[in-house]
A and B are shown apart, each in its own frame.
Chain A
Amino acid sequence: GAGVSQSPSNKVTEKGKDVELRCDPISGHTALYWYRQSLGQGLEFLIYFQGNSAPDKSGLPSDRFSAERTGGSVSTLTIQRTQQEDSAVYLCASSLTATGAANEKLFFGSGTQLSVL
Chain B
Amino acid sequence: QKEVEQNSGPLSVPEGAIASLNCTYSDRGSQSFFWYRQYSGKSPELIMFIYSNGDKEDGRFTAQLNKASQYVSLLIRDSQPSDSATYLCAVGGSGNTGKLIFGQGTTLQVKP
Q: Which of A43, A109, A110 has the most CB of B within 10 A?
A: A43
Task: Flag if B88 contacts A45 (CB, 8 Å).
Answer: no
Task: Flag if A106 contacts B100 (CB, 8 Å).
Answer: yes
A residues 66-117 in Cβ contact with B at 8 Å: 91, 95, 97-102, 104-111
Q: Is B61 an interface residue (CB 8 A)?
A: no
Tally A-B pairs: CB < 8 A.
Answer: 66
* Complex alpha-carbon distance, A97 and B96, angstroms: 11
Task: Flag if A99 contacts B96 (CB, 8 Å).
Answer: yes
Which residues on B are within 8 Å of A, measured CB to CB? Answer: 6, 31-32, 34, 36, 42-46, 49, 51, 88, 90, 92, 96-105
Q: List 14 A-B contacts (CB under 8 A).
A: A41-B104, A41-B105, A42-B105, A43-B44, A48-B98, A101-B32, A101-B51, A101-B92, A102-B51, A104-B49, A104-B92, A106-B34, A107-B46, A108-B45
